[in-house]
Structure 1
């Protein structure tokens, strides 16, 4: 059973539909009380970093999320903003992040007018197949995922990087630290590649 955190800032239905296609049981949890017995989490997210942290804090999510992820070490997958919230801080606001990984979130800044922000659309992802999240991806060709974001995660320890994407600059599009996984793209919008990734996460 995969539990999808509903804090008002994510594509919950799209994620659940992808899991349903894979015959993977899932549930949407909308309060910290529902988080007590979860075995595996997805933290989705679309929107503003500071607003995401404000909602998680004010609605009492932080203690139970830290208990599950840091103490009990259940697998957790952050998607897009969900990935960014796992970092220490972001240029999109002045508040602290969840601090589950030693990283900071930076805004794309390009001098070339041809490089538009946000980075939007399909783009190639170069995975490190040693991560269980990308298991058997070496058998696939032209690996692409759908992106929509103006900010990216900058890791302070590059050994946690499990995927890279280039948009003007190379940036980390996937990381893993123990049980904590994050991807900048949207697997729930990425067809066969997204299905494969979610299937791998379900097996972890």
Structure 2
């Protein structure tokens, strides 16, 4: 979609889709858009890579940055421009009254991108990639993003990076493969949130995702597709997170 076509009449929320394929030649924004549509919202999906240079022209709609397959710390033009945009959006939100704040949510790559924009070097490799169903334990249950959840929730994970960051409010931290990293966080007084897991994924889409990246998983990351499939179960998508996120603009 051409940025010039985007205005507040086109939809309720913008999804900045990072690179990568999820299912049936659809990218990481696909599952997010599907969940939002089921909740009667009108998402606009925009390629982050192709439009990074003009993100400042986006309308003031809630914004979700999807998962992706590029390193959030990469020194390449579109990632650098995306980090710059995120910094400006957070700075803007911190300076304006609550009614003018523009909610921002990062998922997986999106969460890593936001973290790197706030603290360079906060995203590093995991000793062992995390693929499958994770139990997200909420250390801070009063967070608006997790209204309706009590204590913990199951969610799909598909990542080989970890977030360790100091200057945010930690909602959930996670111990895995001998380490501990951030699963969910918020940047104070900014309406900005990051989740390392994928609240949008369903079982069929997750299974297609790991098949799409079978070569990467088996050859580069030394993981067994059969072992991943054996340990994955069907869980509901965490649609309530999107409902809560969209409610931020109304509060």
| Normalised-by-shorter TM-score class | 0.7 to 0.9
1:68 aligns with 2:89: yes
Q: Pick one of 93, 103, 108 that aligns with 2:126.
A: 108
More deviation, 174-183/192-201: 192-201
Q: Is the 8 A contact 1:122 1:144 kept in 2?
A: yes
Q: Which segments of 5 or more consecutive residues in structure 1 lack a partner in the other structure?
A: 89-97, 110-116
Matched, 1:136 2:148: yes
Q: Which whole-Å CA distance do the structure 1 matches of 2:239 and 2:142 have between them?
A: 18
1:47 alignment partner in structure 2? 69
Change (3 A) 1:161 1:50: closer
User: What TM-score, normalized to structure 1?
Assistant: 0.77
Contact 2:133 / 2:155 at 8 angstroms: preserved in 1? yes
Does the 8 Å contact 1:102/1:155 carry over to 2?
A: no
1:40: Cα distance to partner? Answer: 0.9
Bigger-Rg structure (1/2): 2
* Aligned-partner Cα distance in 2 for 1:3–1:27: 5
Q: Distance in 1 between matches of 2:120 and 2:166?
A: 6
Q: Does residue 107 of structure 2 align to residue 79 of structure 1?
A: yes
Supply the distance in 2 between the matched residues of 1:195 and 1:75 (Cα, whole angstroms). 17
Deviation at 1:2?
Answer: 1.2
Post-superposition offset of 1:46: 1.7
Aligned CA distance change for structure 1 residues 5 and 47 (closer, same or farther; 3 Å): same
Quick one: distance in 1 between partners of 2:72 and 2:15? 20
**How far 1:52 moved relative to its partner?**
6.0
Q: What SS does the corresponding residue of 2:162 show, helix, strand or coil?
A: strand
Structure 2: state its 5+ residue gaps.
1-11, 21-26, 94-100, 203-234
Query: Which range moves more in the overlay, 162-171 or 26-35?
Result: 26-35
> Which protein is richer in helix relative to its size?
2
Q: 1:94 corresponds to which residue?
A: none
Q: How does 1:82-101 map to 2 (within 5 A)?
A: 82-88=110-116, 98-99=117-118
Structure 1 residues 150 and 124, CA, compared in 2 at 3 Å: closer, same or farther? same
Question: Offset at 1:24?
Answer: 1.6
Deviations 1:25-75 (A, max 9, x none): 2111343268431321001122121586625257x5555544433214421
What is the TM-score when the length of structure 2 is the normalising length? 0.64
- SS of the counterpart of 1:150? strand
Q: Which residue of 2 aligns with 1:4?
A: 15
